[in-house]
Structure 1
Amino acid sequence: MNYGIVLRVLGNILIVESLLMLPALTIAFYMNGQDKMAFLITIIITGTIGFMMSKKASNKNNINAREGLAIVAFGWLLASLFGALPFYISGSIPKFIDAFFETVSGLTTTGSSILSNVEGLPHGALFWRSFTHWIGGMGILVFTIALLPALGIGGFQIFKAESPGPIAGKIAPRIKDTAKILYVTYFSITILHIIFLRLGGMNLFDSMLHTFGSVGTGGFGIKNNSVAFYESSYIHIVIGVFMVLSGVNFSLYYSLFKGKWKEVIQDEELKLYLTIVSVAVLLIAINLFMTSYQSIFIALRDSFFQVSSIITTTGYTTADFDMWPAFSKAILFTLMFIGGCAGSTAGGMKVIRILILIKLIKRDVAKIFHPRAFISIKNGGKTIPNETIVSINTFFALYLMIFVLSTILVSLEGLDLISASSSVAATLGNIGPGLGFVGPTRNFGEFTFASKALFSLLMLLGRLEIFTIIALVVPKDWTREV
């Protein structure tokens, strides 16, 4: 293990994080909030420690798989620990475990919260809380990767370990160019979303914070009743549309920019993703209209918003879906496990894995009738390597094992099965709200220290897609050269 290079990169990550706190500091001073000194102190501490770590000498600058895993795992942990300081120092969130939980939830774009009165936060803390979604959406490490070549450090292993999805692909030959393209796309969608919300009459501050949540698919509400506060179908639909757009593989937007329309239209993951959204919206809307809603338009609007929010793992709400019929809730609960597309800011298992699983099932059924036939699994005309298929099967098995074990542990708090299982699904899948005890009108504030720590770990596992964290706790793998 090259500890020198790991410390150098981690130091640069902390420096980047301290700089990213400057907008929140500016807002805190402008509003003369109680959090202004907290942000100033945090920036000084984070920047100083980051600077000292970045000066760590190392005998080589290349990063192998082992260092890449360590940087990603510890990078997210350090970013969460230091990112929690403004909440804790300012007293906005008195308990550090709560401040840590809130920050992990923000950076992993989960959106689960321990706060019952969000509107009581000072403006600086409120901005930082939502801004962590935007930072975590594309990944603070991906941003850092764009800077590493200037330090003579390669970043593909970091990109590979952090990339959401079973296959980490580069858009451009050089990884720093890939990172830059992703961020240009991210910036463009962000600016466009803010403009559309401003056209709907939302003020600039609220527009920015809701954009951070929907483009980053995080979902921290800045009002106690989330997006339902804005009684505007236009705002609900705009946020719903941008949540769906943010659940699409960002590389497809670059393909659109390059004029490769056919490549986008024929993308199998995108087609399945949009099909799932469309079918879920229609089924829930019909169910709502037949049971409780008087208007089919309102049923479609609320169904579209909530389906968009759950499948993209954003977590915004415009209705208390915990009060919806069991059929509608069952569909939403299923969507919690599916998630968005690989290469997007969304969490969950990812549509590409569901697509490949369906193809595996079809192949195994076909081989019952043709046992000697060789049937390859393809995606986009390309054969998927066996090692990728094995990785996907392993991922499903680990995901299920972690879900079941965590549900059992959380149930020790005396929760019913629906509340226990949905709280785990909401955090492991980076969703935000769940059902029952953690429904859209409730929060995670009443859980014990142990459960909050477990949920924080689950959020990190979900964001880093399990393998990165698991690899760090397998001691024998650290004694081998990779």
Structure 2
Amino acid sequence: MSHRAGAMLRVFGAVTALSSLIILPSLLLAVLWDEATVLPFLEAMLPTLVVGAVLWYVFRNSYYELRLRDGFMITAGIWIIASLVTAVPFFLALPALSYTDAVFEATSGLTTTGATVLTGLDHLPKSLLFFRSSLNFFGGMGIVILAIAVLPMLKIGGMHLFKAESTGPVKDNKLTPRIAETARTLWIVYLGLNVLCALAYWFGGMDLFDAVNHAMTTVATAGFSTHDASFGYWDNALIEGIAIVFMLLGAVSFSLHWYAWRAATVSHYQASSELRAFAVMVAVVVLIVTVYLWLSGEITGFDQSLRHAAFQTVSHLTTTGYASTGFAHWPGMLPILMIMLAFIGGCSGSTAGGMKVARVQLVVQQGLRELKQLVHPKAQFLVTMGGKRVSESVVISVAGFCALYISVYLVLVLLLSADGLDLTTAFSAAAACLNNLGPGLGQVSTHFQVLSDFSTWLLSFAMLVGRLEIFTILVLFIPSFWQE
């Protein structure tokens, strides 16, 4: 066996063992609360832990400086392995759940999509609910980033993995000289926001269990809840306001949070053109939705219209997917608008899904530049971001990304339609999973139980493609990728 293959197997062994350890906190809670999930958690954790540890031990001395293409393979492999491993507790703890549905639930958790095949959440064991939320938590900052942060011993060229995992059009900026230190720094910021969010929810009226669970799914912009009614369970404006604040924080670049904490200043927020565009977008859409709801009479009173418009708009634009009153029954264009917001998503370097605000900015600027060029063929027009020129290579890359993103989406809609889903369901299910949003329209407005096995596996794949920003997965389907 080649050193390259051995190095990869060493990594996959370590990741398999790590993925099984995600189950450990939930197992301890199950023991503490004397719940029936103790045995399923043990049966899921121990075999995968042993297999992963043995695989790592056998190839522990295989060292090889992996290339960029190896980074793509390992990143995709890590997410696939983690999804398959963390599906086992659902499969063993819920006898009525098929392994296909269990993989969908686990993938949805790790990719911070928030789509679910489960109902009756209020009656599930608390340890299993905690396990679902913990998947959102670990997936929020990324399993790969975690691996880079805590396993520098892997020595597999961490920057390649960081580039493959991180979100946004420009991925060469590091906060610190060492990539492992950068990953640890991001995790510190992430953990700090989770603690603040949990405390805020607790003081806002949630019990401690719900506060911790929803903090893990809010900062991750993920959307899993411990109740079928999501935030409608509390119907509390203060709690919804807290959620809005932390969903927005989760959808902002974590490098900006780090700079703000390090330098004790908000100047980096003010200087970010992407953040300014994101803030304007939130304000404009909230105003439009508020007026629409108020004038249509769907919700009584301007203040209540504003409350629910703000919550659902932020929930969808950040691709969190929480619900207060729900949105599928809203009048006119609003349900479609909510789904379309997720295509934009949050800022680059955040936990949000979608194409990211920076890419949308660049594509719009490029389109306007082409229009100006038609009027003034000899003039030179630049694409800028934050007052600085964006290189043509980045502009071309972003245009290619957006074109491929929409193409993948259209293929998903066609395949779902071919599997018998109506157009509304196919349109929204593909959008909800590719954008890592969660809720859809039609038959998937509340859960995804109605899907066939084919559609379930397809959407599980779509969630991974969206989470890893399509290139990382789709490059594996290029024949030349496998040629030396």
TM-score range, shorter chain: over 0.9
- Which residue matches 1:81? 84
Counting aligned pairs with the same residue, the percent is 37
2:153 matches 1:150: yes
Residues 241-274 of structure 1 deviation map (CA, whole Å, 9 limit, x = unaligned):
1111110011111121224533320211101111
Contact 2:119 2:447 in 1 (8 A): yes
Q: What is the CA distance between 1:453 and its match in structure 2? A: 0.5
1:378 positional shift: 2.1
Q: Confirm whether residue 161 of structure 1 aligns to residue 164 of structure 2.
A: yes
Structure 1 residue aligned with 2:223: 219
Matched, 1:267 2:269: no
Q: Could you tell which deviates more after superposition, 470-479 or 450-459?
A: 470-479
Distance change >3 Å, CA 119–CA 164, structure 1 → 2: same
Name the residue aligned to 1:379: 385
Q: d(CA) in 1 for partners of 2:250 and 2:37? A: 31
SS class of match (1:325): coil
1:42 is aligned to 44
In structure 2, relative to structure 1, the CA distance for the partners of 1:408 and 1:234 (3 Å cut) is: same
CA–CA separation in structure 1 for the residues paired with 2:143 and 2:481: 27
Per the alignment, residue 358 of structure 2 pairs with 352
Higher deviation after alignment, 145-154 or 347-356:
145-154
Shift, 1:59, TM fit: 4.9
* Residue 32 (structure 1) aligned with residue 37 (structure 2): no
In the alignment, which residue of structure 1 is the partner of 2:249? 245
The AA in structure 1 aligned to 2:85 is F
Name which of 426, 431, 445 aligns with 1:425. Answer: 431
Q: CA deviation at 1:43?
A: 1.8
Say yes or no: does 1:107 pair with 2:110.
yes
Q: 2:336 aligns with which of 312, 326, 330?
A: 330
Please give the alpha-carbon distance, in whole angstroms, between the structure 2 residues aligned to 1:119 and 1:45: 30
2:288 is matched with 283
Partner of 1:129: 132
Counting only pairs closer than 5 Å after superposition, residues 286-301 of structure 1 correspond to structure 2 as 286-291=291-296, 292-301=298-307
**What secondary structure does 1:166 align onto?**
coil
- Quote the RMSD (CA, aligned, Å): 1.6
Q: Which moved more, 1:19-28 or 1:242-251?
A: 19-28
2:455 matched to which residue of 1? 451
- Structure 2 Cα separation of the partners of residues 378 and 53 of structure 1: 48
Partner SS state of residue 326, structure 1: coil
| Deviation for aligned residue 1:335 | 0.2
| Cα distance in 1, alignment partners of residues 61 and 475 from structure 2 | 23
Distance in 1, Cα, partners of 2:113 & 2:411: 20
Structure 1: runs of 5+ lacking an equivalent: none
Letter in 1 for 2:477: V
Q: 3-state DSSP class of the match of 2:328?
A: helix
Instruction: Provide the C-alpha distance between the structure 2 equivalents of 1:146 and 1:245, rounded to a whole number of angstroms.
Output: 22
- Please tell me the residue identity of whatever aligns with 2:66: I
Quick check: 1:3 aligned with 2:8?
no
Distance in 2 between the 1:19 and 1:103 partners?
Answer: 15
Distance 2:134 2:482 in 1: 35
1:120 maps to 123
CA 1:93 to 1:396, structure 2 compared with 1: closer, same or farther past 3 Å? farther
Q: Which runs of 5+ in 2 are unaligned?
A: none
Q: How does 1:149-228 map to 2 (within 5 A)?
A: 149-168=152-171, 169-228=173-232
> 1:14 maps to what in 2?
16
Q: 1:24 to 1:73 in 2, by over 3 A?
A: same
Give the residue type in structure 2 aligned to 1:309.
Answer: S
Partner of 1:140: 143
**Cα separation, 1, equivalents of 2:240 and 2:110:** 24
CA–CA distance in structure 2, aligned partners of residues 241 and 176 of structure 1: 29
Q: Which amino acid aligns with 1:43?
A: M
